[in-house]
């Protein structure tokens, strides 16, 4: 398994010491990191950090405003650090037509990324599972985007939170979901975040489906950690290692 960590989980740590946090992530055993900002570090310097710690850039979360205003800059930075996946992590919607218009915009962004050797994708939360005539908003996006231009970064926690089976949803987009966010949920009404493998979600089934669907990177993310964040991502990594998934 290629296991990466979404650095949003470690946002406080990277805010204090970005390079030091990358080094600690590598020592845990992670092979890659997905960015959620770069801490003001120039691309060449960031690439040097990644190389020196033996890490690969497995994605970059970039807000839609930046993608529409400064896409050239985003592309240049990510090419320099060796990352091929640029991901829009969030978008709010006002009805089914907004999903369709957003899909058109995603195709445009995806086309420019593709022309420059990058891949563009979208990361879901739970709100995209509102239904319009029996069709989820997220499905409207994927139906109206070219699979060659827009890939799916499926967040398994938010799918489960929305009451949808993440295993079935991953299988639905076989061949289109190279990046999968592994997140877990505590038992109870609060639906709090848990370290991967410590909660109620069937991680073995999710990982098996993701592998069958062509996943390239499994990305650990925990939006809120009750333990120190570095401890949480270490527990998640170790739990995944103990699952003995071929």
* Residue 246 domain-assigned (yes or no): no
Domain at 74, CATH number? 3.20.20.150
Give the contacts of 153 (CB within 8 A, at least 6 positions apart). 59, 85, 87, 121, 122, 123, 124, 177, 178, 179, 180, 181, 219
* Residue 25 domain-assigned (yes or no): yes
CA gap 107, 6 in Å, rounded: 25
Domain that holds residue 85: 3-241
pLDDT in the model for residue 244: 72
Give the contacts of 41 (CB within 8 A, at least 6 positions apart). 18, 19, 49
Residue whose tokens read 């996943």: 215
pLDDT in tens, 11-26: 999 999 999 999 999 9
Residue 96's φ and ψ, nearest 5 degrees, are -65, -35
In this predicted structure, the answer to whether residue 246 has a pLDDT above a threshold of 60 is no
pLDDT in tens, 161-219: 999 999 999 999 999 999 999 999 999 999 999 999 999 999 999 999 999 999 999 99
pLDDT in tens, 74-126: 999 999 999 999 999 999 999 999 999 999 999 999 999 999 999 999 999 99
* Residue 63 domain-assigned (yes or no): yes
* Residue 77 domain-assigned (yes or no): yes
Give the contacts of 174 (CB within 8 A, at least 6 positions apart). 212, 213, 214
* Residue 78 domain-assigned (yes or no): yes
- Please count the structural domains in the chain: 1
* Residue 209 domain-assigned (yes or no): yes
In this predicted structure, the answer to whether residue 245 has a pLDDT above a threshold of 70 is no
* Residue 202 domain-assigned (yes or no): yes
pLDDT in tens, 41-73: 999 999 999 999 999 999 999 999 999 999 999
* Residue 183 domain-assigned (yes or no): yes
User: How many C-beta neighbours within 10 Å does residue 1 have?
Assistant: 15
Q: Which parts of 189-243 are beta strand (E)?
A: 193-194, 217-220
pTM of the model: 0.97
Residue 158's φ and ψ, nearest 5 degrees, are -70, -30
Q: How confident is the model at residue 152 (pLDDT cuts 50, 70, 90)?
A: very high
């Amino acid at each position: 398994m290629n296991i990466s960590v979404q650095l949003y989980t470690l946002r406080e740590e990277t805010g204090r010491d970005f390079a030091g946090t990358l080094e600690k992530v590598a020592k845990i055993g992670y092979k890659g990191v997905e960015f959620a900002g770069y801490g003001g570090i120039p691309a060449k310097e960031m690439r040097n950090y990644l190389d020196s710690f033996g890490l690969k850039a497995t994605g970059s979360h970039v807000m839609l405003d930046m993608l529409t205003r400064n896409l050239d800059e985003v592309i240049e930075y990510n090419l320099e650090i060796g990352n091929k996946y640029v991901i829009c992590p969030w978008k709010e919607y006002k009805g089914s037509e907004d999903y369709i218009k957003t899909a058109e915009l995603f195709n445009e962004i995806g086309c420019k990324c593709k022309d420059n050797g990058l891949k563009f994708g979208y990361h879901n939360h739970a709100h995209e599972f509102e239904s319009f005539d029996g069709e989820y908003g997220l499905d409207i996006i994927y139906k109206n985007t070219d699979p060659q231009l827009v890939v799916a970064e499926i967040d398994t926690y938010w799918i489960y939170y929305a009451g949808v089976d993440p295993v079935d949803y991953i299988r639905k987009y076989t061949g289109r979901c190279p990046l999968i966010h592994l997140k877990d949920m505590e038992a109870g009404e609060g639906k709090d975040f848990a370290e991967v493998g410590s909660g109620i979600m069937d991680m073995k089934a999710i990982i098996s489906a993701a592998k069958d669907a062509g996943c390239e990177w499994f990305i650990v993310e925990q939006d809120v950690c009750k333990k120190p964040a570095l401890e949480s991502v270490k527990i998640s990594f170790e739990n995944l290692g103990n699952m003995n998934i071929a």
